[in-house]
Amino acid sequence: MGKKDENEIAQNCAGCKKALNPATRYYRNNAYFCNLNCYKKKIKADAAKAAEAAAA
């Protein structure tokens, strides 16, 4: 004990970065999300970023 086990603890939402509840987390695209809503938000954000990068 005392040493942080990242494999066990590093489970934050890839969308909002909040700590996830292992029982209700939503797995998609190699990442964990709070729920489908956060996943959709992330997709939107990524799409906007990609569009920005393409326009730049």
List contacts with Zn ion (CB under 5 A).
13, 15-16, 34, 38
Cβ 5 to Zn ion shortest distance, Å: 22
Cβ 40 to Zn ion shortest distance, Å: 11
SS (H, E, C) 5-43: CHHHHCCECCCCCCECCCCCCEEECCEEECCHHHHHHHH
CB 46 within 8 A of CB 28: no
If the CB atoms of residues 38 and 51 are measured against Zn ion, the closer one turns out to be 38
Cβ 56 to Zn ion shortest distance, Å: 28
